[in-house]
Structure 1
Amino acid sequence: MRDKMTTVHTRRSLLGVSLAGLLVAASPLRAEDVIELEWDDLIPHEGGALEAAAERMGVISHDQISSLPEASDDAPTTDAYDGKLVRIPGFVVPLEYLSTGVTTFILVPYVGACIHVPPPPANQLILVTSETPLEFSGLFEPVWVTGVFGRAALSTDLADIGYAISADKVEPYEG
């Protein structure tokens, strides 16, 4: 049942990202219209209960740690870039292949994310779909992904994902 719900959730989220892509594709875009993101941009700056409690308590001793609230499994996402054309660097964790290359992958902030346990939080993972298959060169080669960005609530066997990009371009990272 969960797999079926995951598929439904994934399709709905991808549909929203695809529709946003159609809107962007219909208007002329220039290179200066692309927002270059860093991974920290994907974390809302509201702070969480754990950080707030730690600030109130100041420096804490080891035996005080148990009195802190538990960190939430829920990684908040930001809507600041929904429907916008963005560019972000990262590493590829392939999900779907064609004979010509990878069409769906998770973009992760560092090498080995999602391969080792635990995976990064959902607000640090981006599901990338591309109509043009990516000739996959390996897990250790960084890439730039440019495309329409949106929030997504997806769950895969590897991790929960908080964002999605309908990729217009995937290219090797050149710092």
Structure 2
Amino acid sequence: MDYSTNHTITEATKKLEGYCAYQERCHKDVIAKLKQMRMIPEAIDQIVGHLIQENYLNEERFAQSFARGKFNIKKWGRNRIVNELRQRHISSYNIKSALAEIDDHIYLETLDNLAKKRLDSIKDTDIQKRRRKLADYLLYRGWESHLVYDKITELIK
């Protein structure tokens, strides 16, 4: 991208419509993109308003898509998803709506599969080290600690 040119509001709007149509975006990403394009605050407000009005930008839809994707593809737990959404300044209402996208039964099944797969790859024979490594792995991915410790108790005896 050429940073030396200034974009008109129309050019920037068209560019951001494409940016938002390509994949779901949050307000923070769009504002950062507009700042990168050196748009003034008034223009940013006008463009963001247009994107929301024309349904290119919808934080609830973004949050739901984000939660589904990070859970299904990266196998993240709820804690990590919530933290990542908070960093993007997503409202509590939209975070709650996003978490509702994850089926509880599938959530627990995914934890079980992930824990078993990871446990198979831990070569340590010391039980405490195996437990710690599995816990660290699952907690880093944002799985709730009570679920992690229950799963470790179930799998490592």
- Pair in the same fold by TM > 0.5: no
Give the TM-score normalised by structure 1: 0.26
Identify the structure with bigger relative contact order (alpha carbons < 8 Å, sequence gap 6+).
Answer: 1
Structure number, greater radius of gyration: 2
Bigger proportion of residues as helix: 2
